[in-house]
Amino acid sequence: MSKTVRLRKGLDIKLIGVANKVRTEAKVPKTVSIKPADFHGMTPKMLLKEGEQIKAGDIVFQDKYSETIKYASPVNGTLKAVVRGAKRKIVEVVISADETQNFDRGTPIDLASLSGEEVKNTMLASGLWPFVRQRPLDVVADPKNEPKAIFVSAFDSSPLAPDFDFVLHGKADEFQAGLDVISKLTTGTVHLTLNGKSPADATFKDAKGVQINTISGKHPAGNVGTQIHHIDPVNKGEFVWSINAQDVAIIGRYFLTGKYNAKRTIAITGSEIKDPQYIDTIIGANVADILDGQITTDNVRVISGNVLTGDKIEQDGHLGFYHNQITVIPEGDQLKFVLTKGWMGPGFDKFSNSRLFPTYLLGKKKFRLDTNTNGEERAFVVTGELDKVFPFDILPMQLVKAAITNDIDGMENLGIYEVVPEDFALCEYVCTSKIDIQDKIRQGLDVIAEECM
Amino acid sequence: MKFLENIVNKMEPKFSKGGKLEKWHPMFESFMTLVFTPKYTTKLGSHIRDGVDLKRTMIMVIFAMVPALLFGIYNTGHWEMVAAEGNLNLPYGEMFWDKVIAGAAVVVPLIIVSYGVGLGIEFIFAMRRGHSLHEGFLVSGMLIPLIMPADVPLWMVGVATAFAVIIGKEIFGGTGMNILNVALTARAFLFFAYPTSMSGDKVWMSGLTENLDKVNAEKLAHTAEVAAGKAEKLGENEFASPLADSLDGFSGATPLGDLASFMTPDPVLNGSPLEVGSNLMDQFIAANPINDMFMGFSPGSIGETSTLAILIGAAILLITGVGSLRIMASFFAGGLLMGVILNASGGPYLDLPPLYHIVIGGFAFGAVFMATDPVTAAQTATGKIIYGLLGGMMAILIRVLNPAFPEGVMLAILFMNVMAPIIDHYVIAANIKKRLKRVKNA
């Protein structure tokens, strides 16, 4: 019973720097890292000490409060440093990688003979579990919960996003194996949602054992949250899990070979990249080598992930755990004179969803946007603008206000269980009052996690 | 611009934390951000942000008011000339520049007082709260003069503006937090505090009151002279003055004022009494052709008379997406609907064709510039339609059926401002109910 969804709301932000469909194999990075901050609300408990030798797939740390969830090293090497921040909180675990990586261990796992519980335990023990994310709350899934469905999105619609059809082309066996694995995790349905705007690669189109849906529309059509809302929405007390398409392939690879091989193809994108392209690298890889000679201007921001939801990293920082792309855009820390590039300028260089700028007259023009907020923070004044980019049957501004005021009843009633910060990224982008909406939603979810879960 | 940039960069350390002028940082920031979009970059969440900000949004509303403002200046000048010369038949297009100058002499001081008082108070609050000036008053400050009668004393505008900014807005927390439309609060304050300066027949033409006073003074002087036996020196006992002659039987009433009189035992039209029982409405329509009303060739509040100029503003607001089409359209629809309903009931004033209702008085101005204020209107999409519809109906209802208020738009919008949260509450409740129903079905 596949579903077809058509979205009317949304926004495609047209940026310069889409990756060309060229794939290069990156060198083995000098270091890789795992950042506990990628797993919201998790407190790591280190299992290894600095200086210890590790192999790919060895467990580096586990969740202090949910010890079955373990986090594995993506490479062979040495635990180089445990970087701590304020109050000795672990910010990053850095592993220096051996120059050659060989995966000598492991034997294929016969999936057919395993029960759901055994699959779950295998994934937990091998460090594959953190790939599974849960709604509500947008955290690593709690293995004790029973999900009513698992969602995989076959495309990413965010700005400059990698094309999964290209990335996973020819990896149908790994992807299918991954789908078979995750089907064992739920008694409900596994949903694979394709892009209705373009024909999907055979990897996705011919997937078996899952319900294939199509969704068409502007961003956030590719966000799993939008798909869940329109296909099988989360109600209070229910859980839905989701996994990135590339991570499904990693899970499949593990069961096919018995090896934890966290290889991933990422897109190097953005207006400040000389030659935007695809690169095969490893989760958590240091980006210094990848970006070497690629950045064209001085004052840039390097983002692990996309411009709407990614994390700011240094030029020698590390790729995030869930990220499939690196974006480099100019910093916007310059004064902009009012009549030329400022608030009353003609605005041909600004991308806006409002008709106060000529964006809508410029057709397919692509923009080079910087990190300037283009204005100061204000109270909510303009109404109705968030609704235009929020394809949920949820009132975005009211929900954000409930989150800001810590109104638990309000948040529950208005649908906080269905949303995660990522769903509000476009709202945050278009907000005239420059409110950090994703952060407000995250704070609201933290309150809910503490009081209601 | 490099030179301005250098000044800003040089001054910034003095005003930032630890600097000598730290206290004045809000002031510095307010002026700096007026000339430059500041160098603030994204810290949390989305790394890029839409080009739009509140400044650009608000300036567009001001641009949209310019046609009404320019026409208002000319119209004010025209009626001032009419009052000065006592010539009701002064052709509208003649003496163009004289009228522009006369009108500007009335309107520009109003704008200066409104902005001066309002921004002054806003600055004090901004400094106390330690944030830069918020843009809301840029719009309110222009709206206030546009909804004043031409003859209103400047000090009253100052007092009303102060009241509206402090009581109407700042005590709620400033821009974005207020419950009532700030400009309408100013007008309502004057309307109830100084009714003689805000309603009646004499206030809509600048200088009319003054001239009438002059005539009265002349009359008094004449009477005194007669009593003193000096009349013979003048050669006659009867009082005579060219000014008094021309002002004789001159009312200065707005079309709405005339219409309101139809509901009383003494109907008047342009100052001349009408016979009760005759077909009042036909005479009104003959005296006030709808085209003239649409163009705005009538006395009234400065910016409200020309529906054409207001519709140009509406087009600007709708094309740029700043004004809500839902509210505007439903407000007009509500007004027309109520006009039709009243027509069906019959009666002297009730017979006015519905289309007249939306081109005379402040109806169009209220619909386009006041009802659409996003802060005080309903905030949900469905709520906006209900809000506009009820507001439009209420405006006409008050206008026609309450003889104490010849104009109903101001009170209707203020009333709907208060009701907007309730409308939103039910729209939100419907959304919540839908979600709960899903749980039960599942």
What digits encode the pLDDT tens for the residues B394-405? 998 888 887 677
Residue type, B50: D
* For residues B153-175, average pLDDT: 91
Check residue A201 and give its pLDDT. 85
Contact (CB<8Å) A428/B45: yes
User: In this complex, is the C-beta atom of A439 within 8 Å of any C-beta atom belonging to chain B?
Assistant: yes
Residue A384 has its nearest CB partner, among B50, B381, B432, at B381
Say what the pLDDT of residue B429 is. 93
| Nearest beta carbon to residue B52 from set A13, A354, A421 | A354
B195 touches chain A (CB under 8 A): no
Q: Please answer yes or no on whether B132 and A334 come within 8 Å at the CB atom.
A: no
Report the chain B residue with the minimal C-alpha distance to residue A426.
Answer: B46
Query: Using the beta-carbon criterion (under 8 Å), do B381 and A387 form an inter-chain contact?
Result: yes
Q: CA of B37 to nearest chain A CA: how many angstroms apart?
A: 5
- The stretch B198-214 carries a mean pLDDT of 71
What is the mean pLDDT of each successive set of 10 residues along chain A, which is 453 residues long? 86 91 88 91 89 87 90 89 90 87 73 84 89 91 90 92 90 90 90 89 86 91 92 89 92 88 91 91 90 87 92 90 92 85 86 88 89 88 89 92 92 91 93 92 92 81
Q: Is residue A372 less than 8 Å (CB to CB) from chain B? A: yes
Whether pLDDT at B99 is above 90: no
Contact present, A214 and A234 (Cβ < 8 Å): no
Is A383 in contact with B50 (Cβ distance < 8 A)?
no
A-contacting residues of B 94-133, CB under 8 Å? 132
pTM of the model: 0.88
The type of residue at A315 is Q
Q: State the Cα–Cα distance between residues B38 and A439, nearest whole angstrom.
A: 22
How many residues comprise chain A? 453
B63 to chain A nearest CA, in Å? 12
Using a CB cutoff of 8 Å and minimum separation of 24, what contacts does B431-440 make?
B431/A393, B431/A394, B431/A395, B431/A414, B432/A413, B432/A414, B434/A393, B435/A235, B435/A393, B435/A413, B435/A415, B438/A233, B438/A235, B439/A235, B439/A236
pLDDT band of B232, cuts 50, 70, 90: low
Q: Which among A301, A341, A395 has CB closest to B380?
A: A395
* Band (B111; pLDDT cuts 50, 70, 90): very high
Quote the pLDDT of residue B236: 54
- CB contact under 8 Å between B176 and A380, yes or no, is yes
**Pair of tokens at residue B243:** 């000014």
Rounded to a whole number, what is the distance in Å from the CA of A331 to chain B's nearest CA? 7
A79 DSSP β-pair partners? A95
Contact of B380 with chain A, judged by CB distance below 8 Å, is answered with yes
Least CB–CB distance from A372: residue in B8, B39, B46: B39
Q: 3-class DSSP state for residue A123? A: helix
- Which residues of chain A lie closer than 8 angstroms to B133, CB-CB? none
**What residues of chain B lie within 8 A of the CB of A390, using their CB?**
none
The stretch B65-90 carries a mean pLDDT of 85
pLDDT above 80 (res B198): no
Backbone angle region of B438, left / alpha / beta, with phi > 0 → left and psi within -120 to 50 → alpha:
alpha
User: With an 8 Å Cβ cutoff, is B421 touching chain A?
Assistant: no
Q: Which has the closest alpha carbon to A72: A141, A133, A31, A123?
A: A123
pLDDT band at residue B248, thresholds of 50, 70 and 90? low
Sign (positive or negative) of CA dihedral B62, B64, B70, B73? negative
CA distance B438 to A163: 35
Q: What is the pLDDT of residue A451?
A: 86
Q: Which of A447, A223, A379, A434 is nearest to B43 (CA)?
A: A434
Q: Taking residues B159-163, report their average pLDDT.
A: 94
Asked if the C-beta of B255 comes within 8 angstroms of chain A's C-beta atoms, the answer is no
Q: pLDDT tier at B421 (50, 70, 90 boundaries)? A: very high
- In single-letter form, the type of residue at position B100 comes to V
Q: Which residues of B171-204 are buried (b: 16+ CB within 10 A; e: fewer)?
A: eeebbbbbebbbbbbbbbbbbeeeeebbbbbbbb
Nearest to B51 among A333, A350, A371 (CB): A350
- Whether omega for the bond prior to residue A220 falls within 30 degrees of 0, making it cis, is yes
Determine the residue of chain A that is closest to B35 in CA distance. A338
Mean pLDDT score, B271-287:
73
Residue B102 has pLDDT above 70, yes or no: yes
* Residue-level pLDDT at B239: 61
Residue A47 Cα, gap to closest chain B Cα (Å): 31
Overall size of chain B counted in residues = 442
- State the average pLDDT for chain B: 84
